[in-house]
Structure 1
Amino acid sequence: MNATLESLFGPPSDPIDIPAFIRTAAELDTTDSGPDPALADECSVADLRDSLFDTWNNPTLSAYLSKDNEHNVTSLYSTTKSAKPKRRVNLPDPDTLPSEVIALQKQLDSVNLTSWKLNYDVASFIRPSKNSDQNALAQVKPAPEPSVRLSDELCAIITVTVHTRSTWSSGYVNRSSQHALLSSQSLGDLVRVIRCVSDEIAEEDSMDTREPESRPPTGAEGCVICIENVAYGDGLTDNDYAQKLMRHLQSVSKDAPPLTVAPTTIYETRLSSLPLRINQPYWLLHQGNCEHFVVVDQIRLQHPSDVTTGYPLTLQITPALLDLCRACSKVPASLSVVGDIRLGESPCLLCASCWRHMGDPDDPNIIVKQLPRYELGR
């Protein structure tokens, strides 16, 4: 697992003293007189930006560029020996193209940069889009109960990405979400804002099959996060996850890592008090055995264009992969049926429509449970 993490993240930076960084950056920001207007005009890329936006916001031009790019990538893949057959992209007849598309193609063909056009060597560096490249959010999502920030305190913005172990390979991780926090906030604020499907597992003794109207996240109820060889527990009980982790490490191996329990809980530990490193994965455990890796992407001062309220902000959430109904294989399953001999497997995942068409079962021992409601994009 260590080799996998090293190949996915890093190299990590040196530990960053956040209060010292804020002081130094603030001094540089106040002493800087700003860029030279003439130099700013000379280095401006506003014309390129406006041209790009005008082209991409045009449905005709953007559709043509997307299809042309898909055709070029498919052609590059076909040149590799290990390439799998791809769906052929049928381009329209050049004589039938609109005049604006023809003009755009002439502009692209006139570019003299040798690196502008894709060559066969780039096939090894092109990958298809992954589910983690998508964002379930249409806009930045503020916290439902944002933490109170002191108005006279200068804070840094810390951007973190949360990675989760892959369901198909325990040695691989996928990005699940990205968040922005203030350095004045605590580890507890970070844990609370992380949305995880494990938080939506129903209680074992709950037999209510109705879907709840709302389910508050419970990720902070029983958790531990390890940062720079220090384990921070939630402190909700005298024997929290941090204490249990220490006892577990001492019992399984004599060569356990030099881990110590923090004197403060995640709710008492402010991010500004931690020696965080960029690109270093920090291990988080909650909900019994659900593991995440928290990676700090950047630490910076606030910009005038940044929002001033709603932190922690959720910037990205990877859409959840839902199992399809075993009967129709068309829509996501919403029910788990246990002990029904008619289905051929137990538990069997079905959609509500297929279960309704099957009719009421005769066996009273059959259990029907509502699958957890995925609120990741809400």
Structure 2
Amino acid sequence: MNVDDETLKNLSQRCGEYSLRCGREDQLKYQSVDLFPEDIDLVTVNLQKNDIEKRKNYPIYRSLISRRQRNRFLFTHMLSPTHNQPSPEDRISTPDAILQVALYKPSKRIGNNITRTLSNDSASLENVYAILGQQKLTELRDRIRCVNDVLVTGDYSDNPDLNISLCAWDVFKSGTFFIENVFYDDTRQPDNLKYSKEIVEWAAKSGIEYQCKTMETTKFNELTVRIGCPYLYLHQGNCEHLLVFSDIRMVHPHDNLNINEYPCVIQRSNKRRTICRVCAYASARWRTVESEHALNSTSFFCDACFRSLHYDKDGKKLGNFKAYKYFDEHTVL
């Protein structure tokens, strides 16, 4: 960065972590997280107090919290430089910025109980992507993998061997980002729907103005974003993902300078697979509804158990049930 040692030393003294402390922090030195100010009545402080008390008094709660926090994410190091230097045409043109974009799983809504919805992993982190400022929004969208994109609709109980030629992504290619009151619609295909159209018209009746732009013509370095602010990625009609820009920094020589490696996943969450309800070993491939061979109205089976329970030796359907192709995100994505 062409900074001399004297300037670097001066910056480290003025911008170091010790310069950010004030009041009693120098005396406390973060010795305990149990110390709370007596004259502050904040919801977050009260929640922290209650959580600490419950961890002390309830071993089951303490064990549950520890289990949820253990090995929650798998980290990859895809930003580190590769052994093979990229060709001049594939090399990142600097200066450029690297943005870290956190994508959260679709929210799970349970009726009108907002409290239960928020506590039911409705904002569960899925992946964190690294993308360059010179890249377009469509490049990030093509890199995002959602299990709803590979779903195949329809009842396959009459013919489970029916060849699957199309999935949801092949049919419903529309999508949009909503960032700082601007909708960025994917209009690469002529039959793509503009999800923003009806929302913009509805908001205009209340005096709220939203802008609309195309996703394929907008680069990330043209956006105005706020770090930590929640934005929206909408696709497949009603599949809503929370999108958060968690970090922005300049590209440095220690990064992977091959532009073809971006966008890339730099943080991935652990996924729990759905296992077969019969063998309790293989991953589920089928979801049945109203099956008399299952203990529950809706149940999951691997391919072998599904066929052995619901069809005879000649492949004839046994009973009246519905069967749907099931794609587990742990094994598909």
Q: TM-score range by the shorter chain?
A: 0.5 to 0.7
Tell me if structure 2 keeps the 8 A contact 1:134–1:318: yes
- Relative to structure 1, is the Cα distance of residues 38 and 232 closer, same or farther in structure 2, using a 3 angstrom cutoff? closer
1:233 Cα shift? 0.2
State the match for 1:267 in structure 2: 216
1:181 aligns with 2:135: no
Alignment of 1:308-323 (within 5 A): 308-309=257-258, 310-323=261-274
Contact 1:177 1:316 in 2 (8 A): yes
Measured in 1, the distance between the counterparts of 2:171 and 2:331 equals 13
The CA distance in 2 between the partners of 1:276 and 1:220, in whole Å, is 28
Cross-structure match for 2:78: 140
Q: Paired residue for 1:81, among 42, 53, 57?
A: 57
TM-score, normalization by structure 1: 0.57
Identity over aligned pairs, percent: 21
Among 291, 306, 326, the alignment partner of 1:371 is: 326
User: What runs of 5+ residues in structure 1 fail to find an aligned partner?
Assistant: 1-28, 40-75, 88-125, 143-147
Answer whether contact 1:160 1:178 (CA < 8 A) is retained: yes
Distance change >3 Å, CA 219–CA 255, structure 1 → 2: farther
Relative to 1, partners in 2 of residues 1:286 and 1:358: Cα closer, same or farther, differing over 3 Å? same
Tell me the equivalent position of 1:102: none
Q: CA, structure 1 residues 211+371, in 2 after alignment: closer, same or farther (shift >3 Å)?
A: farther
- Indicate if the aligned counterparts of 1:339 and 1:347 stay in contact, CA closer than 8 A: yes
Q: SS at the partner of 2:294? A: coil
Aligned residues: 266
Q: Matches of 2:189 and 2:105 in 1, distance apart? A: 26
Query: Is residue 2:118 matched to residue 1:164?
Result: no
Q: What are the Cα deviations for residues 162-189 of structure 1, in whole angstroms up to 9, with x where unaligned?
A: 1123437544311010010111101111
Q: Gapped runs of 5+ residues in structure 2?
A: 11-51, 81-88, 111-115
Query: How do 1:95-114 and structure 2 match up within 5 A?
Result: none
Letter in 1 for 2:184: Y
CA distance in structure 2 between the aligned counterparts of 1:180 and 1:219, rounded to whole angstroms: 28
Instruction: Report the alpha carbon displacement of residue 293 of structure 1 after superposing the two structures with TM.
Output: 1.4
Name the CA shift for 1:256/1:210 in 2 (closer, same or farther; >3 Å).
Answer: farther
Distance 1:377 1:306, change over 3 A: farther
Describe the shift of the 1:86–1:266 C-alpha distance in structure 2 as closer, same or farther (beyond 3 A): closer
Is it true that 1:222 corresponds to 2:167 in the alignment? no
1:1-378, aligned counterparts within 5 Å? 29-30=1-2, 32-34=3-5, 80-84=56-60, 128-130=67-69, 133-135=72-74, 140=78, 152-167=93-108, 170-171=117-118, 172-204=122-154, 209=161, 221-236=173-188, 240-242=192-194, 244-248=195-199, 250-251=201-202, 254-255=205-206, 257-262=208-213, 265-309=214-258, 310-358=261-309, 360-361=311-312, 363=317, 366-372=321-327, 374=329
Deviations 1:133-180 (A, max 9, x none): 322x665399xxxxx867544211111111123437544311010010
The Cα RMSD (Å) is 4.2
In the alignment, the residues of structure 2 paired with residue 214 and residue 305 of structure 1 have an alpha-carbon distance, to the nearest angstrom, of 42
Distance change (3 Å), C-alpha of 1:337 and 1:195: same
Q: TM-score, normalised by structure 2?
A: 0.64
Report the alpha carbon displacement of residue 340 of structure 1 after superposing the two structures with TM: 3.2
Distance 1:225 1:149, change over 3 A: farther
Relative distance call for 1:338 and 1:249 in structure 2 (3 A) is same
- 8 Å Cα contact 1:162-1:295 kept in structure 2: yes
TM-superposed CA distance for 1:305, in Å, is 1.3
Q: Tell me the equivalent position of 1:120.
A: none
- What do residues 186-226 of structure 1 show as CA deviations (whole Å, max 9, x unaligned)? 11111111121111211548876589899897699210111
